[in-house]
Amino acid sequence: MLGALALFAGLLPTQASASDGVYQPGSIDVPEGKAVIVLYRAFKLTGAAWPHRMFIDGKEVVGLKSRFYTSIVVSPGAHRVSVWPEDNVWHVALDLVAADGQVSFVRYLPGQISLDPGYGSRPSLTEVPASEAEPDIAKRKYRMQAPDILEIGSADVPAVPPQEVTP
């Protein structure tokens, strides 16, 4: 029993300070002539142990961990955010318009797998207003996860070296 409690406790988020990469409202700088998409993954025990593959415009940008966020610089305009490849049964997508000089927030809530028809839930992607997303991310102490690609554009800019804050 104690072993199970210790395992469960290891899945709970740890307290962290701003220097540990915890999100601070208003902390994302948007380069001139660009927009930023912030992806954050809500905690759900199902699937919490592994990263989920996130895409913008068909390019894999990060294997996002539970209770982490990442930010990707994009050109202003229409973009498609998705989780898992299109041929995966858990694939979902969200179309959004990223405005010049603005930060768009996308919350990812993993689904719950069930082998029984009618049970479980589909994963979801939701565009969330900054006024709701920023306090939520900060309150829950989401930490920054370095993306695989820093910028989506004519020449994708890879993140080198990846710098990730670990709990």
**Is 1 domain-assigned?**
no
**Is 12 domain-assigned?**
no
CATH of the domain at 130: 2.60.40
Give the C-alpha distances (Å, rounded to integers) separating 105 from 4, 5, 14, 19, 65: 35, 34, 23, 22, 16
**Predicted local distance difference test score (pLDDT) of residue 78:** 94
Per-residue pLDDT tens digits of the chain, which is 167 residues long:
434 333 333 332 233 334 466 777 777 889 999 999 999 888 666 555 677 888 999 998 888 888 888 889 999 999 999 998 788 777 889 999 999 999 999 998 887 665 566 666 778 899 999 999 988 888 888 788 777 777 776 455 555 444 444 44
**Is 98 domain-assigned?**
yes
**Is 22 domain-assigned?**
no
**Predicted local distance difference test score (pLDDT) of residue 13:** 29
- How many domains does the chain divide into? 1
> What letters, b where the CB count within 10 A reaches 16 and e where it falls short, cover 23-55?
beeeebebeeebbbbbbbbbebeebeeeebbbb
**Is 130 domain-assigned?**
yes
Domain that holds residue 102: 33-153
What is the reported pTM?
Answer: 0.73
Three-state SS for 146? coil
d(CA 127, CA 106): 4
